[in-house]
Each structure stands twice: as C-alpha cells, then as structure tokens.
C-alpha cells in the first residue's frame, strides 16, 4: 500500500448513544475504592502443579508493573509471570496472576505486600494462566456529585437492565485522547516501525476502532440490537456464533438478550455475514481502506463481536455525602467488555485524576 495515499481525517472516538445521551455529569474514580473490580476465573486452581496462582488486590498500580514486581521477588524471568487480562490502574482491583515455578518452592511473599498490594489467596495449578482465560468481572462503582434527577436516572437504569447498551470498546483501548488509533493509522501506512508490544497495542486499537465505528452507525440507524438479514448472532459470554436465519425461538432469545447481533473484528478472509448485514458493514468500512487493508496484511483473521452488552445482576443504591448525590452501581460483565460502555449511557463522567494515562 502506498504510504502517501491520503487517509480519512476523522478518527474520532465519540460514538453514538443508544438512549439519547448522558443524563448529567458526575465524578468518576474520585478515590481508588470508588472503582472496585473482582476478576472471576472459569475454573478453580487445582492445588498442585508447577504454576502458582496469586489473587492480588492492587490499588493504583499498573498490571504490568505488578507482574514485574512478582518476577523480581520470585527470582524468575518476567516471561514466567502471566495474567488473564489487564485491569485499570485507577481503582481497587482483585485479579489473578500466575508465576511459573517448575521444580521450585513457593517464594516467601512476606516482604512484597504494601499499602497498594495485598495477596488474598495463593494456590498451585497444573496449567499456566493465559491471556483471555477469564469468565467475568464483578464491578462496584461509586459515582459522586451527580447533577441529574434520581427518578430520571432510575428510569434509564431500568432501560439498561432490560435492553443493554452498545458493546463498545472503552476509550482506554485507544490511549490518551485517542493517540493509539492515530499511531495505528501511521504504522499501517508504513510511516514508522514499532517494537512488538507496541505493535500489538496499535493493531488492537485499529481493530477495536473499526468495530466501534460500525457499531456506532448501527446505533445511529437504530439497528444495533436488531437482526439484519445475513447477520451472525452471538452469545454474550462466548465466541460461539449462529449463522443460520433465526427461527421464532431464536428471535425470542434475541429479545431476552440471550443472543445478540454482531459486528466485525476486521481481518483477513471472507466475511462471515451476507445480505443486508454485509452491505451495511461494508458501507462503513469502505471509508477506511488503510485500516482494513493493513489489518488483513498483518494476518489477523475475520472475527465477530456481539453488539449488545447486557449487565448482569445490575443493582443500584443512592447515597448522600460531602460530594452531593452519589450512586453505587453493582453489575457483572463478560470478559472483554468495558464498564465505561455502561456508564457513558448514564452520565458524562469526569475523573479527578487528571493527566494520568490509564492502564
């Protein structure tokens, strides 16, 4: 591809809202305990094996930094420490780390803990913890200084509980002020080379941006949670897809949120959809040949992601305090989904920790 081919100017990360936009403003993450996340594995560690699983509570710490700290403390290479997924730096998160210790005893972790790191549990397992091996995340989020009427917010929350929200990738995927997508565009245009880890970040940003761009147009047209002919339906908590035209039973499951329409995670190969769904998606992606061609060229394969994110076990409680009305939200999301995609349909959230790039 010619690096001098002009690229589209608009790589905005401002996506369409499903329910008319935010109801007001709020303070978000005014302290670490306002954003609590518990990581849930799809299995229990077996109690034996060469891999030591550690459930760690961290406050205000970067996931990669904690992994490096564990490696140094255990006297192993950084590659010997893994985790299922990164968690936000600005919050209190409880997540699993895995330290591979073949033929080695458990390290003495007594000198590791601090005000920002606490080991909750440790257990051996026969298999290494790999990226993406995650069942779900439990969230408890406190939003403060809310300037919207509680009755109006309650009605929106009821709507979200019934209908879900667009399953956008969160802003953190695109870096501070969307810089990762800007870098991805330049990298795929051949303007510079990057190290392997940065390359992965930029490719992920490009693929996620294209997905969000297609989904945003579906939201604009009011079809994000409707079946378009030729579409593939997906299950919210797995990568399984259904390609045949839905019957009445499947449409009922679609209405209940047990199935969802999907949009493309761009890559090489024939599209997995046809007819109306394919035409709609191509009408959007045709405007971004640099991203599409670049993602195909690096060898990523066509995949799909569900359009709808339905928070499970969604509850809320209003409180009053020194920072005005506060709302405590609790819900569970499948792996790979973002709490900010739920929050954006409620409020314009302002973080007090300004100028700090998220994990």
Active site residues: 88
Secondary structure letter of residue 268 according to DSSP: B
Query: H-type helices in the chain, by residue range?
Result: 63-74, 150-163, 179-188, 196-220, 248-256, 275-285, 289-297, 339-343
The pairing of beta strand 35-40 with beta strand 92-100: parallel
The Cβ of residue 68 has, within 10 Å, a number of other Cβ atoms equal to 13
Which SS3 state, helix, strand or coil, does residue 326 take?
strand
DSSP string, 291-325: HHHHHHHTTPBPEEEESEE--EEEEEEEEEETTEE
Q: Which tokens is 8 given?
A: 């589209």
Distance CA 146, CA 82 (A): 38
Question: What Rg do the C-alpha atoms of the chain give, in angstroms?
Answer: 21
* Phi and psi, residue 158, nearest 5°: -60, -40
Q: Collect all residues with Cβ–Cβ distance below 8 Å to 20 and sequence separation of at least 6.
A: none
């Amino acid at each position: 591809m010619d690096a001098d081919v002009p690229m589209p100017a608009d790589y905005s990360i401002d996506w369409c809202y499903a329910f008319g936009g935010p109801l007001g403003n709020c303070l978000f993450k005014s302290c670490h305990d306002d954003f609590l996340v518990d990581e849930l594995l799809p299995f229990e560690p077996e109690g034996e094996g060469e891999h030591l699983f550690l459930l760690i509570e961290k406050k205000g710490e970067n996931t990669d930094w904690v992994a490096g700290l564990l490696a140094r403390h255990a006297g192993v290479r950084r590659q010997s420490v893994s985790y299922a997924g990164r968690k936000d730096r600005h919050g209190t998160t409880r997540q699993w780390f895995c330290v591979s210790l073949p033929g080695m005893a458990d390290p003495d972790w007594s000198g590791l803990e601090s005000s920002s790191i606490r080991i909750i549990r440790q257990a051996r397992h026969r298999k290494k913890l790999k990226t993406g091996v995650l069942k779900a995340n439990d969230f408890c989020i406190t939003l403060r200084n809310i300037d919207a009427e509680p009755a109006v917010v309650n009605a929106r929350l009821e709507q979200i509980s019934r209908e879900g929200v667009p399953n956008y990738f969160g802003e953190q995927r695109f870096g501070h002020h969307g810089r990762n997508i800007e870098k991805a565009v330049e990298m795929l245009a051949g303007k510079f080379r990057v190290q392997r880890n940065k390359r992965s970040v930029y490719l992920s940003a490009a693929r996620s941006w294209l997905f969000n761009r297609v989904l945003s147009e579906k939201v604009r047209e009011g079809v994000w949670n409707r079946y378009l002919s030729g579409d593939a339906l997906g299950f919210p908590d797995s990568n399984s897809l259904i390609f045949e035209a839905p019957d009445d039973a499947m449409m009922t499951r679609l209405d209940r949120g047990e199935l969802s329409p999907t949009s493309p995670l761009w890559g090489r190969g024939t599209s997995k959809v046809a007819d109306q769904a394919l035409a709609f998606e191509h009408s959007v992606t045709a405007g971004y040949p640099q991203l599409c061609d670049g993602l195909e060229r690096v060898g990523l394969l066509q995949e799909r992601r569900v359009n709808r994110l339905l928070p499970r076990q969604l509850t809320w409680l209003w409180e009053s305090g020194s920072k005005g009305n506060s709302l405590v939200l609790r819900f569970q999301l499948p792996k790979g989904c973002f709490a900010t995609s739920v929050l954006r349909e409620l409020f314009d959230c302002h973080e007090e920790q300004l100028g700090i790039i998220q994990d």
